[in-house]
Amino acid sequence: MADQGRRVALVLGTSAGGVGRHVAMLAGGLVRGGHRVVVAGPPSTERAFGFAALGARFAPVPISDRPRPIEDLRAIRALRALRGAHAVHAHGLRAGALAAIALAGTGTGLVVTLHNAATAGGAVGAVYGLLERIVARRADRILVVSPDLGERMTRLGAGRVEAAVVPAPSLPPSGREPGDVRRELGTGDRMIFLTVARLAQQKGLETLLDVVKALREARGDAGPVPGGVSAEPADGRGPEERAPEAVFLVAGEGPLRGELQGRIDRENLPVRLLGDRADVGDLLGVARALVVPSRWEGQPLTVQEALRAGTAVIATAVGGIPAMVGEAGLLVPYGDIAAMRDAVARVLADDGLAGELAAAAARRGRGLPGEQEALAAVLAVYTGLS
């Protein structure tokens, strides 16, 4: 790699998922390239991602997921120690804004990658709006995971905005056969529709439950099928010709688990919350499609994983999803329950369509950028700070 021996600081806030994995990928790759790397973030991120084991120096900094004035002042003081680095690369809006305040007037180059949109309202939303303006006006480069984020930063006065490269890590093969996976899941012959998401507001999981309920209601007087949902074909075929039953699996944990499980139980929906799973590759291998009902997404790792696995995608047309999925899935407006219900019903009932989408996903997956492309992209940005 060019420019070896640079001192690079990577800054992140609270993370248990994609942002932390991305920073770990960058840290490991930069260290292997001969760069001196320090990662600054909450101690929980070091425990989760092991930056020190990758060869980086870890500096504990209390960057939380929400505004906390006392902790934020401590974080700003701690981040001032990064002055003199060739590049400080902050990940996330709060980490970026705190780094921008800490490094103001120091001449230290600041890069900020925005991985998520600020969706909160009220007082918290107003604070996030202020943080966006700080990042837009003070960061030397802003990398964004979706076109809408780039447009917003440009409107707020950002001078240099570019597309971020955030690849999903490769899923290691487990060696398990699909039949073994199905037996472990207890799904029988039902078609599996998979969602991989944190059980949180952004992920739109209440819409997923609405879709499952709507599939049942679309059957009219046929009523629900115990343990599964069967889609009514659009051509009016009889019960003996209906599509196979479906079960909806959700892999992930989060604060909405109790609320979601309560509704699943009350309405007897064929939805199972699996909790966090290490075998996402196996789940994708037996899924008819990945269903993404999110309010917003940037470059979701789970969608990349589905494409690489050759799994069809049914998703909301938000953020960076349309550019990533292309022809490899069915995209619907966020919150349009009828449109998503129809998309699921089509994939459930039509083997030809499901096969075409799976083949398109595999083609799309082969063209996705990987770790080397991501490292080359950030090194080019760091070099441009000179």
Give the model's confidence band at 107: pLDDT under 50 very low, under 70 low, under 90 confident, else very high: very high
Domain 178-366 has CATH 1.10.10.10: no
The answer to whether residue 386 scores a pLDDT higher than 90 is: no
Q: Tens digits of per-residue pLDDT, 269-312?
A: 999 999 999 899 999 999 999 999 999 998 899 999 999 999 99
Give the architecture-level CATH label for domain 7-167+369-383: 3-Layer(aba) Sandwich (3.40)
Fold: same for 7-167+369-383 and 178-366: yes
Q: What is the mean pLDDT of residues 22-29?
A: 96
Calculate the average pLDDT of the chain.
90
Q: Where are the domains of the chain?
A: 7-167+369-383, 178-366
Which pLDDT score, from 0 to 100, does residue 5 have?
A: 76
Altogether, the residues listed in the chain come to a count of: 386
Quick one: residue 212, left, alpha or beta (phi over 0 = left, psi -120 to 50 = alpha)? Answer: alpha
Q: Where are the alpha helices (DSSP H) in 114-247?
A: 122-138, 147-155, 178-185, 205-217
Which pLDDT score, from 0 to 100, does residue 2 have?
A: 46
Q: Tens digits of per-residue pLDDT, 53-80?
A: 999 999 999 998 877 889 999 999 999 9
54 in Cβ contact with 24 (< 8 Å): yes
DSSP line for 150-166: HHHHHHTT-S-EEE---
Q: What is the mean pLDDT of residues 213-241?
A: 57
Q: Kindly report whether the global pTM for this prediction surpasses the value 0.75.
A: yes
The answer to whether residue 235 scores a pLDDT higher than 70 is: no
Which pLDDT score, from 0 to 100, does residue 172 have?
A: 77
273 contact partners, CB below 8 Å, separation of at least 6: 199, 250, 257, 260, 261, 264
